[in-house]
A and B are shown apart, each in its own frame.
Chain A
C-alpha cells in the first residue's frame, strides 16, 4: 500500500459536527436535534411525511401543504438543486423540511440554485441529520403531531417558548387554510406543461373556458387543463356561484387545497351546490373533491396519518384499471355518508378509502388524489381529457 498522501485542498474539508443548530419539537415533548439549513427561523405546524423519492421542490411549493412541515422519507434530498420551472406556486406553502442527510451540492443540467439558498430565499427552515424513519414511524403509529421546527445557528433553543408555540397553534382540524392560500386576484392561465425537450412551456391562445376555484391550486393542474385544450380563469375560493356562472364557463374546476374541508365548506359548499344545479360540468381534485362530497350530502373526517406519497394504487371502479397516483391529503370522504345519487368511482388499494366520486345525474366527478401529479406518476392524466369530453358533450 502506498503511503497515504492527502493533498485535498480543492475538496470541501470534513468538519466535525458542531452542536445542534436546529430542533424539531413535537407536541408530546419529543425533541429531535439536528443541523439547521435554509432560513434561520421558527415555524409551527403539523408534522407529516411524504414518501416520494423525487420532486421535493414541487412538494414544497404545493399549496396543499400549507400549515405543514414535511418529513421526507427519502434520505438524500436536494441532489438536483432547484430551478424556476419545477414549482407549483410562486411561494412555497409548506413550512419546513425534515431530512436525514445534509443537503448535497446540486447536480442537474436544469438546476439554478442550491436547495439551501432557495429555502433561505423563501424564509423556510430545514433540519437534517435526524432519524427520519423513526419519525415517520411515530407519525404512522400515532398520527401526524403538531410540532415546531426551529433553526438557530447559535444553537440556543428556548424549549418552553417553543412548547408554548405548539400549544398556541390550533392545529389543522377546523382550520380554513384554503382562504389563506387562495389567490386574491382573479387571473387567466394559458400556459401548458413544461416540455423537457424544448426546455420551455407552450402558451394556448384559445380553448374551452374553464373557471377554476382556487382553494390552493397547484399550477400543474392548470397546465394539465391547458394541455387538454382549456384556457382557465382562476377565481378565489370565496367567489360566488353567480360570479362564476356569469362567466358562462364550459366547465368548472374545484382545485386542491390545504386545511379542513369542513371549515372551508362553511362558505364554499352553498355556492358549490348552486354550481352543481347549474348543470355545468364540474371536476374536483383533493379538497375540491371533498367539498363536492359535502355539497352532494356526504361528510368528511380527519385521517390518522393521511396519504402522502407518489406510489398510491387506486382502482378506477368504472374500468377496473389500476393507477399509481400521487396523493396528499389528511382528510377523506366517509363512504357511508354518501347519498344514493353519488357513486364511488375510485378507491385506494392501500386502505380502501374513497378516492373518487361521480354524480349519477349531473356532469360532476372528482378525485381525492392528484391526477396532475407533479411530483408523481402520470397514470391519471387522462382524467383531464375525461373532463374535456364531458364539457364537449354538454356543449353539443
Chain B
C-alpha cells in the first residue's frame, strides 16, 4: 500500500533540550522524519522547545512551535492546528510520554488525532515493566528474575526473592535515570527511594543482577504488513552492569555464531510482534550468558532511539526516515535504499568493516560526583569510528573523543611490587570507571594477562586479545623504534595507530613520523559505507579511512572535479560544545551546496544531522585530528579545486587543528586562524584593545603565585581567575577573598611560566551581554544582542538570556554595536563573531571576543528569522552581506533562552552556577512579553513555576535589598513568604509580610523539613562564601530532588516573579515561528 490519503496533516513531537540520555540523535531522527513526510506532501506541525535543532528550522515544517513539550501546551497546539495524526516515535522518551499522556487524558480522542508509528497499547506494553514481562513470558522469552513494586515495603520483600547484587530500574525514566546496582542493603534502600521518587508512576523494577553477562542490542524495523528486518546488531564491550549509552559498543556483534545470532534475531522480531509495534524502528536489548548462551530479554524501546542513530550511521540505513514513511502506510519493499539507489529498503544491511562507539564523560565538571558507571546513564556524548579491524576502529574512536587520547594512551596506575602488583591492578580495573579501557590497557602493559583481566572484568577475551595486539605492537615500537620497512610500518598503521601515538612510543615528534610515513608512501585509502559490502555499486560518497597494504587495494573516494569546500564538524558532544555547533555546520553544508559548491563534511559524532549521508555532498566519518583531516584534504585535492576549509563553525575542535591545516598548505575560509588566535591570546588581544580604546575589566596575567597575589591586590577583589586556553570555563572561579585565591592557586591549577593564569576584576551585579555578528570583511551585521538574566560571573552558556534586551539603554546598545563593529573590522572577520560584554552603571566593558560561530547562533536565527549560519558560510565562500536580505525591523516578540542542567544525574553535586559551564542543553521560550517568554522557557526546562503557595527565601546580606521588591510582588500575588531570620527581619522592616523559618543548622523543624512535607512550592536562595554555601547545600539538594523550582540568583528570581505574574493573568498561548516571523527572507 502506498502513502495514506486519509490523513493530510501530521504532528511530530521533538525531544526538547539536550540532556544526558537524550541528545542530538533526536534532532537527527526528527529532521529526517520532517523531511521524509514533507516530501510526501503532508502538512507537518512540529513541536520542540530546543532552538538549537535543525528540525526547528522554519523551513523543515509547515508550522513550527518552539514551545514547551508538556501535555497541556501540546494540547493547545493540537486544538489550534487540528492535525490528523501524531507521530510520537521520533522524539525519544519525551515525545512518547507526552503522546501517551495526551491519549490518556482524552485530548487525542477529543480532537480526533490518530497516533501513528506506535499505538498506546504497544507503548504501554513496552514501557510498563510488568506488562512487558508478561508479554515476554507469553512468547517463551526469558526475563531476569524480578519484581515490580510501587512502595518501599514491597521493595524490601522483593529483595528476598531476587537477592543481592540487584539492579533497580524505575519505570518511565530517561536513560535509566534513578536506577542503579545495589551490592548491599544500604545501597539498595537508597536507590529504591530515589527510583520511586523519580519514576513518574512511582514504580520500580527490582531485578536479578546479570553482572558479567554479555549484552547485545538489535535494531529492528517493521512495516504494517509484518515485514521485519534487522538493521544492525550491536555488541557491548562492557558487559552487563553499565548502561548501554555509557558502554563501549561495536557493530556488528562479533562474538556470536550464526545460530546464536539468529536466535537473537528471531527473538527480537517476536518481541516486536508481541508488543505490537506495527510500523517503524525499535530496539531490543538482550543479555547472553557467556557460560551457556542463556538469553534474557532486557528491554525494548518502541521508537527510534540513540542506538537507532548509531545503527543508521554504522550501516548507512536511514532508520528514522524509513520509519517515518512506514508510519504513513508504505511497506518496506515500496521504499528505496537511497545509498545503493538500486535496491529496496526491504533487506538487511551487511557491513564489511567494524564500528566502535565510545562514550564521552564529563565527571570533571561536577566535583563531588563519583566517577563510576552504572545502569543510569552519565555520558554526555559519543564518538564513533569505522575501521577494517576492531583494533583500527577502536584506536580511531579513542582519538575521536578529543579527551587528549591519541590511542590507548598510558595512564598512571597504582604502584606495587611483585605479587601485590597483580592484586593491586585487579582492584584498580575491577570498578566500572569511565576510563576502564585505559586501565585495562595499562594493566596489560604492567604484566596482567588476558586471562587475569577477563576474570576480573568479564570483558570478552576476544576484545581483550585485540587490545593485547595493540599493546604488543606498542611494546615493539617502544623496544625497536620506528620501523624503517614499509610492511612493518604499514602493519602498525593498520592496527589504527595514529602518527602522534607512534611518535610517543618511538620518542620522536609527530611531524617526523608523518614525514617518514609519507616517505614510505603509506597513506590511508578510503572505503565506502554502502549497506551491502560492495555487492552493489554505490554512488553515495559516505567514506572512512583504512590502511590496505598489498597490491590490488582500491581507494573508493573518487574525488570529483568540482569546486569543493570542506566543513570540519564539532566531534563528540560535551558540555560547552554541543548541538549548536553541529547546527552551524549543517547550515554551512546546505547553504554552500545551494550556492553550487561541493560540500564535504568531516566529523565523528554519530548522533548528529551533520553525519547524515545526505546533509553534505560527501561525508568522511573520521576523527578530527590533524593527521586524519589532512589525509582527507590531500586525497580531495587530487581532483577538482579545493576552495578551502571552514573551521569556525564546529566549536573549538576544528580551531585546534586550523593552524596545522593551514601550514599543510590548505586555505582556511573566512577569518584567518591568526585573527582567531589573536582573540585567544591575552597579550596580543590587550594590545588590540588599547589600540581600539575599548574598556576591559582591570586584569593581569600571573605566571606565579606571587604575581597572582600582586595582580589581585592591584585590580581589587573580587576577581575572576582562570587558566589560559580553556574550554567551557574549565577551572574558572570567582574569588572573593585572598584566602580563596591561595586555595585556588594551591588546589585548582598548576601555574608556571608556560601555564599562566588570567586574573580579571570581577564586576559584581553587572549585566552580561552576548552579541552575534556577521561580517564580510567590510560590512558588519549585528545579528543579535542578548541580555543575560544571570549576572556576569556565571558562564554565558549556563545563563538564561533575552533577545531583544529588555533593560539596556539605547546609549548602551549603541556603544555595544559600535564596539562590535570596531572589533570585527580590526580582526578582519569574515563570517561569524561573538562578543561578550558586561554592563555596569551604564558603562560597557568588553569581556571576550570569539571570531567564530558561537553557541547562541541557532537561538539568534530562530528568534530573529535571519539564517545567520547559512549567511556566514556564504560570506566565507566570498559572498557579501549586501547579497542578502535581512530582517531588521524591531521584534514584536521576546525570546528567552534557558539552560538545562544534568544535576539530577550527579547526586551530591551543588547546583550553584559559576564561571564553569555545567549545562547540557537549552530551550527557548517565545511570547509577546518577557514574563510569558521566561515562563515558557522555565516550563520547557521542566521548571513548573507555581501560581500560588509558599515561597522560601534565604539570601545573602548583599542581596537583601534587591529581594524586597521581589517579595513584595510575590506577597501581592498571594504567595506566603517564608524566610530565614535575617531575611525575615529585612522584609518585615520594609513592610513585606514574611514568616520566619529555621535554617537547617538552627534546629527543627527547619526549611528542609518544610520542603519535604510539600509546604514549599518555590525556593529563592543566594549565598556567598564557602561556609554559607556549605550550610545551604541541603536546601538546594532537597529542592532538586523533590522537583521544587529554585533560583540561586537575584536576577533569576526577579525573572521568575515576572513570569508568575504574566502567567497568573492569562494561561500561556501558543504560536508558530512562521507566525512570529511571517516575512523571513528566502535565502536561495
Report if A and B associate in a common complex: yes
What are 28 contact pairs spanning A and B, CB under 8 A?
A1-B409, A6-B475, A9-B447, A10-B450, A12-B472, A17-B490, A30-B552, A31-B551, A53-B252, A54-B262, A75-B354, A79-B255, A79-B462, A86-B257, A101-B389, A106-B462, A109-B289, A110-B257, A134-B552, A197-B294, A313-B347, A321-B227, A322-B331, A322-B333, A350-B536, A376-B262, A377-B230, A378-B266
Cβ < 8 Å to A, chain B residues 551-609: 551-554
B388 contacts the other chain (CB 8 A): yes
Give the chain B neighbours of A350 by CB distance below 8 A.
343, 347, 536
Q: Which 8 A-B pairs have CB atoms at the shortest separation, nearest pair first?
A: A55-B258, A375-B258, A107-B462, A10-B449, A73-B533, A7-B447, A134-B554, A311-B348
| Complex-state Cα separation, A136 to B471, whole angstroms | 32
Mark A251-277 against chain B: 1 for CB-CB distance below 8 A, else 0: 000000000000000000000000000
Bound Cα distance A131, B445 (Å): 31
B460 in contact with A311 (CB, 8 Å): no
Given A107-B461, A131-B552, A315-B333, do A136 and B447 touch, yes or no (CB 8 Å)? no
Which residues 59-105 of A sit at the B interface, judged by CB distance below 8 A?
73-76, 79-80, 83, 85-86, 100-101, 104-105
Whole-angstrom CA separation of A58 from B265 in the bound complex? 18
B354 to A76, Cβ gap below 8 A? yes
Q: Say whether B263 faces chain A, with CB atoms less than 8 Å apart.
A: yes
Min CB distance, A36 to chain B, in Å? 13
Contact present for A54 and B256 (CB under 8 Å): yes
Query: Whole-angstrom distance between the alpha carbons of A52 and B505 in the complex?
Result: 38
Partner pick for B290 among A1, A31, A101, A109, CB 8 A cutoff: A109
**Residue of A with least CB distance to B251:** A53
Of all chain B residues, the one with the shortest Cβ separation from A32 is B552
CB distance from A223 to the nearest CB of B (A): 11
A196 / chain B contacts, CB cutoff of 8 Å: 259-260, 263, 293
| Known pairs A12-B472, A75-B352, A350-B347; A33 contacts B533 (CB<8 A) | no
| B549: A residues at CB distance < 8 A | 129
Given contacts A4-B474, A11-B444, A377-B262, list 7 more A-B pairs with CB under 8 A: A6-B471, A11-B449, A33-B550, A51-B350, A104-B465, A349-B343, A377-B230
Interface centre among A34, A320, A349, A377 (most CB of B within 10 A): A377
Q: Give the dominant DSSP class at B's interface.
A: loop
Residue of B nearest to A307 (CB): B535
Task: Check B305 for interface membership: any CB of A closer than 8 A.
Answer: no
Instruction: Please tell me if the beta carbons of A8 and B445 are within 8 angstroms of each other in the complex.
Output: yes
* Residues 767-820 of B contacting A (Cβ, < 8 Å): none
Q: How far is the CB of B91 from chain A (nearest CB, A)?
A: 29
- With both chains docked as a complex, state the minimum distance between the C-beta of A57 and any C-beta of chain B, in angstroms: 8
| Chain A residue with Cβ nearest B226 | A321
B371 on interface, CB distance cutoff 8 Å: no
Whether the pair A73, B413 counts as a contact (CB closer than 8 A) is: no
Q: Which of B261, B411, B478 has the largest count of A CB atoms less than 10 A from its CB?
A: B261
- Closest B residue, CB atoms, query A375: B258
Nearest A-chain residue to B492, judged by Cβ: A14
With known contacts A31-B551, A132-B352, A133-B534, A54–B257 Cβ distance under 8 A? yes
Cα(A266)–Cα(B919), bound, Å:
76
Name the B residues within 8 Å of A199 (CB-CB). Answer: 292
Contacts of A129 in B (CB 8 A): 549-550
Asked if A140 is at the interface of the complex by the 8 Å CB criterion, the answer is yes
Q: Does B473 sit within 8 A of A, measured CB to CB?
A: yes
A135 at the interface (CB under 8 A from B): yes
- B296 → chain A, closest Cβ, in Å? 12
Contact at B258–A58, with CB atoms within 8 Å? yes
Question: For window 452-471 of chain B, which residues contact chain A by CB distance below 8 Å?
Answer: 460-462, 465-466, 468-469, 471
B472 proximity list for chain A (CB < 8 A): 8, 11-14
Min Cβ gap A237→B in Å is: 27
Q: Say yes or no: is B722 at the interface (Cβ < 8 Å to chain A).
A: no
B878 at the interface (CB under 8 A from A): no
Q: How far is the CA of A194 from the CA of B226 in the complex (A)?
A: 27
Closest to B262 in A: A378
Task: Indicate if A5 sits at the interface (CB-CB under 8 A).
Answer: yes
CA distance A376 to B413 in the complex (A): 45
| Residue A354 is within 8 A (CB to CB) of chain B in the complex | no
Residues of A within 8 A of B447 (CB): 7-10
Interface string of B490-517 (1 = CB under 8 A from A): 1100000000000011000000000000
Kindly state whether residue A21 has any CB partner on chain B within 8 Å: no
* Contacting pair A322 B465 (CB below 8 A): no
Complex alpha-carbon distance, A290 and B344, angstroms: 25
Partner of A86, one of B258, B354, B445, B475: B258
Minimum CB–CB distance from A42 to chain B (whole Å) comes to 19
Contact indicator per residue, chain B 249-280, by CB within 8 Å of chain A (1) or not (0)? 00011111111111101100000000000000
Query: Which of B257, B262, B348, B447 is the most central at the interface, judged by chain A CB atoms within 10 Å of its CB?
Result: B257
Q: Which of A33, A85, A107 has the most CB of B within 10 A?
A: A107
Query: Which of B's residues lie within 8 Å of A, judged by CB?
Result: 225-227, 229-230, 252-263, 265-266, 289-294, 331-333, 343-344, 346-354, 388-390, 409-413, 444-450, 460-462, 465-466, 468-469, 471-476, 478-479, 483, 485, 487-488, 490-491, 504-505, 527, 532-537, 548-554
A315 to B488, CA, bound (A): 49
Residue of B nearest to A26 (CB): B552
Chain A residues with CB below 8 A from B266, complex form: 378
A51 touches B550 (CB 8 A): no
User: Given contacts A136-B535, A311-B350, are A5 and B445 in contact (CB under 8 A)?
Assistant: yes
Q: How many residues of A contact B (CB 8 A)?
A: 80
> In this assembly, does A310 line the interface, its C-beta being within 8 Å of a C-beta of chain B?
yes
Distance of A129 from chain B, by nearest CB (Å): 7
The minimal Cβ–Cβ distance linking B556 to chain A, given in whole angstroms, is 8
Decide: B347 and A312 in contact? CB cutoff 8 A. Answer: yes
Residue in A closest to B1 when the chains form the complex, CB atoms: A320
Q: Give the shortest distance, in Å, between A240 (CB) and chain B (any CB).
A: 36
CB of A33 within 8 A of CB of B551, answer: yes
Chain A residues closer than 8 Å to B504, beta-carbon distance:
1
From residue A303, how far is it (CB to closest CB) to chain B in Å? Answer: 13
Chain A min CB distance to B529 (Å): 11
Quick one: closest A residue to B347, CB to CB?
A313
- A318 on the B face (CB < 8 A): no
Question: CB of A324 within 8 A of chain B?
Answer: yes
Q: Is the CB of A75 within 8 A of B475?
A: no
Residue of A nearest to B507 (CB): A4
User: Do A2 and B553 have beta carbons less than 8 Å apart?
Assistant: no
A190 at interface, CB cutoff 8 A:
no
**Cβ-defined contact, A1 with B462, below 8 A:** no
The distance in angstroms between the C-alpha atoms of A79 and B255, with both chains bound, is 6
Q: Flag if B229 contacts A324 (CB, 8 Å).
A: yes
Q: Is the CB of A16 within 8 A of B333?
A: no
A17, B489: Cα distance in complex, Å: 10
The answer to whether A191 has its CB under 8 Å from any CB of chain B is no
**Does A374 sit at the interface, judged by CB under 8 A?**
yes
A52–B233 Cα distance when bound, in Å, is 13
Within 8 A of B (CB), among A296-316: 309-313, 315
CB within 8 Å for A133 and B347 given contacts A105-B461, A196-B260: no
Q: Which residues of A contact B254 (CB under 8 A)?
A: 76, 79
A34 to chain B minimum Cβ distance, whole angstroms, is: 6
Task: Compute how far the CA of A349 lies from the CA of B505 in the bound complex, rounded to whole angstroms.
Answer: 52
* In the bound complex, CA of A370 to CA of B584 (Å): 49
Contacts A101-B389, A140-B536 given; does A110 touch B548 at CB 8 Å: no
Bound CA–CA A350/B266 (angstroms): 23
Contacts of A9 in B (CB 8 A): 447
Cβ-defined partner of A133 (8 Å) among B466, B533, B551: B533
Q: Contacts A8-B475, A315-B333, A324-B347 hold; do A14 and B469 have CB atoms under 8 A apart? A: yes
